[in-house]
Each structure stands twice: as structure tokens, then as C-alpha cells.
Structure 1
Amino acid sequence: MFISLARSALLLIVAIPFHVLAQDAVCHNDGSGRDAYICAAQETRAADAELNEAYQQALGQLDGSDNLRLAKASLVESERAWIKFRDADCDVQTNIFKGGSMQGAMVEACKKSLAEQRTKELKSLWLP
């Protein structure tokens, strides 16, 4: 009975995805795969926040005339397509590093890099 409970507890811990653990975890830069993931996930969240801010600012500038409303709808559509592209592009990293200790960190680094690129694009196109 004890072994069964211990095994169940271990399976539950192992089944928790890294992204759940990284939410409140602290980046120590200790060189471990888990810590590399935590650090990368925190950097990705910061890049996503900056991207969302640029996106919201761009949307805010596209109110008014019919042309601006059409441009706004196109921007929303392009952002949805970009998210699909980002996920598909970063799946390459998932498959390259599948099962390795650096898989999560590499995927997060990919998402961060693409978010930073997209932020620059939005700012150069839409923001003064």
C-alpha cells in the first residue's frame, strides 16, 4: 500500500509540466535543465508582455475611418496567424530536443526570440 501511494505521488510530481513549475519559481542560473527552463520562461513572459503592449498600442491607433477599421481587423488576423507560426516554428525546437533536459529552455528561447522580433515589427509599423 505504501509503495503504491509513493509511486502515485511520484507520478503526480513527474506529470506536472515544467511550465507550471516555472510560474513562481526563481531563476538561479545554476546550469540545470530545469533552471534553464525557469529562466527562459521568465524571459519569455517578459517578452510576451512587451509584445502585448505594442500590439495593444497598435490596435489603439486603428480606430476611426473605415480604412483604419479594416486595418485593425487585418492586424488582429495577422496576429492570430503569427501565433500559429510561432508555435509551429518553435515545434522544431521541441522535436530537436525532445526528451532532453534542455527541451523546455530551447522552446522558451525560441518563443522569446520570435516575440522580440514581432515586437520590433509592430513598433516599426504602427508606433511613432
Structure 2
Amino acid sequence: MYTRLLLPLIPLLFIGAVQADVCTNATTQGDMNQCAAQETKTADKELNSLYKQITARLKDNAEAKQLLVKAQRAWIDFRDAECSFSASGVEGGSVYPMIQNDCITALTKARVEAFKTYLNCEEGDLSCPVPGA
């Protein structure tokens, strides 16, 4: 019975393997753009997960939670503006999506690291706005 339920999922395993192989050996601009977009999506998922963890820890501090929301919105505006500027030299070209996504991914990964720091503050660290778990 379990085999019948799992059988339709097998092609999904191969799609992931094929996607990784395509990105490793990407030679066309379309493939490189697609891979850059996938990296951005992966980094964004991690950022969103960490954001949810932080907001959960701030559930008893509405003021701090609102400050986080304000900071995150400002950070998103900055990230988008910075990456539009960064990619502006190739605007209209086929490489534009890759350049812009690479920038978004890099800034998102930096934000991920900042969030990880917030989630792993040492006890007694008065400069940390996020309480321990």
C-alpha cells in the first residue's frame, strides 16, 4: 500500500537531481538565470523561516516586534533598490535577471546571518534584541 502512495513521488526526486545538475553545468543564459532565481528562492525561504522564529520569540514584546517589522520592511526596500542599482549596467540584457538575483541572494544570505546571530545571542548580551529560546 505504501509503495502505491510513494510511487507518484519518485519523479520529483529526479527533478531535484536534474535541476542540481543543470545548475552545475549551466551553459545557456536562460539556465543560469533560472538557477540564480532558484538560489534566491532558497535563500528567501531560509530568511522567512528565521524571521518567523524571531517573531515567535518576540510574541510578548509588541514594541520590539513592531520594530522588527519596520526594520525588515526597510531592509527589503534597501535590498531591492540596491540590487536594481547593482544590475542597472546590464538592464534590458539577457544577463540582467542573473545579476539582479545574485545580488538579492547575497544580501539575503547576509540578512540570514544577522538573524542567526539574533537567535543565538549569549545570555546576558544586552545588545541583543531577541530573547533566548
One fold, TM greater than 0.5? Answer: yes
How far apart, in 2, do the equivalents of 1:37 and 1:93 lie? 16
- In the TM superposition, residue 49 of structure 1 has moved relative to its aligned partner by 0.1
| Alignment partner, residue 44 of structure 1 | 40
Task: Give the superposition deviation at 1:122.
Answer: 1.1
Shift of 1:99: 2.3
In structure 1, the residue matched to 2:51 is 55
Tell me the C-alpha RMSD between the 2 structures.
1.7
- How far does the alpha carbon of each residue in 1:10-58 deviate from its partner, in whole angstroms, 9 at most, with x for none? xxxxxxxxxxxxxxxx462332111111000001100000000011000
TM-score, normalization: structure 1? 0.72
Gaps of 5+ in 2: 1-18, 122-133
> In structure 1, what is the Cα distance between the partners aligned to 2:46 and 2:35?
17
Hey, which bits of structure 1, 4+ residues long, moved more than 2 A? Answer: none
Letter in 1 for 2:82: D
Where 1:100 maps in the other structure, the secondary structure is coil
| Rounded Cα–Cα distance in structure 1 between residues aligned with 2:55 and 2:107 | 20
Cα distance in 2 between the residues matched to 1:55 and 1:91: 24
Match of 1:82 in 2: 75
**Alignment pair present for 1:71 and 2:56:** no
Q: Which runs of 5+ in 1 are unaligned?
A: 1-25
Give percent identity, aligned residues only.
36
CA shift digits 1:68-113 (9 cap, x unpaired):
2111000001000011001000001331111222111010000111
Aligned length: 101
C-alpha contact (below 8 Å) 1:44/1:112 kept by paired residues: yes
Q: State yes or no: 1:108 paired with 2:104.
A: no
